[in-house]
Chain A
Amino acid sequence: MKRLLVILMLLGGIGLSPAFAQGLGPDIPKATGQPHPEGNLFWRMNHMRLLQHDRDLTMHNGDRHIQASLKTCVTCHAVKGADGKPVGVDNPKHFCRVCHDYAAVKIDCFMCHNSKPEEKTQAYLKPKIPDSKELAAYLKETGQ
């Protein structure tokens, strides 16, 4: 019985360890865009239902012209890592994981979806069409 008490007290001690660096809550990162008009509390309570509702609209009903999308969330809320690039959901600093890890809530979204903002690779691959001045300068340079 005494041993059990000691074990319980040890477990309690671990539970109460001052491991939280800034306050007791998660370190919520700032987003870049305009704040949500519905307020933060609304989004904290309802984002899961809204995302699921949109999924039903797009995937089950095939309606792709809905107002919001996960892509927008991921772009505006992106957190930059040490290399200056947005981090993915594999990083604990990712904006979804900060709270989800804090409250042990699983995220399914990124089993299929991209957790990082889309990189604009296509734009760089397209050849830039030079205007006439640039063309003339180029021709002069090459001596033709």
Chain B
Amino acid sequence: MLSTLYALLFYFATAMLVIGLGLRIAKYARTPAPLKIPTTPAPTTRSGVFWRMTREVTVFESLFKSNKWIWLFGWMFHVALLLILLRHFRYFVDLSHAIWFWVPFETPFGIYASYAMVLGLLGLLVRRIVVERIRYISSPSDYLMLLLLLGIALSGMNMKFLSGTDIISVKMFFLGLMRFQINPLPTTPALLVHLALVATLMIIFPISKLLHGPGVFFSPTRNQVDNPREKRHIAPWALELEK
């Protein structure tokens, strides 16, 4: 009964995440950028833009330039989240396959990363509460995202360090979902809380501020080449008017 409920929840959450995110990305890709507005100093070649974007998404360059505290906590959280996501590969893939050789080596880093994730999130939460001008512009969803991610991290750490669960059954449950069969899910409370929060995150991802993830790639100020004199930048609809 509970397994079926969670199976349906995860089918729904996955559909929301994949379809919702796909529609959003399609919308971002079609949105016209009529003006040439790269933030200078900007690269003058396409490979330069590629390198700038790589720095932006790996080390959060412009955030570092604007605010060191937000950068510290934000970057800490994002890197920790990446390490933890990689650790979770072990629940979804057949580890006997050669391309997953790195999974057993990566998993210990995910354990340490959990502390960094919580620390980063707490830092960002404290900033929202104690910095008065940030508190003034903070909306409920800003707090909700931080609390949701904190809940996921803490329930996960509870399973890792305190209560535990039957991870073999958890893996069988998720491998089963990928083959359209429902296997029994362990009913330990921490696991059920963890999975419910993760499904919530997947569902609200495409309608939340977390869209800054795919969104950063579509920022005109970051993804444009600084070549307005060499090559005229004109929107298709503006070109029509000139004919």
Contact = CB atoms under 8 A, between A and B. Distances in A.
A49 B94 CA distance: 27
A104 interface: yes
Interface string B98-110: 0100011001100
Contacts of B90: 103-104
Given A24-B175, A103-B90, A104-B90, A19 B96 contact: yes
Contacts of A46: 164
Contacts, number: 60
Contacts of A126: none
A102 B100 CA distance: 12
A101 interface: yes
Given A16-B178, A17-B94, 10 more contacts: A15-B97, A20-B94, A20-B175, A41-B186, A44-B168, A46-B164, A101-B95, A102-B171, A103-B90, A106-B108
Interface residues of A, number: 23
Interface string A84-110: 000000000000000101111110000
Contacts of A24: 171-172, 175-176, 179, 183
Interface of A: 11, 14-17, 19-20, 23-26, 41, 44-46, 49, 99, 101-106
Contact of B93 (A15, A23, A44, A105): A15
Contacts of A11: 99
A20 B172 CA distance: 11
Contact of A17 (B97, B103, B168, B186): B97
Contacts of A17: 94, 97
B106 to A, nearest CB: 9
A99 B176 contact: no
Nearest to B176: A24
Nearest to B170: A103
Nearest to A43: B166
A42 to B, nearest CB: 10
A26 B168 contact: yes
B92 interface: yes
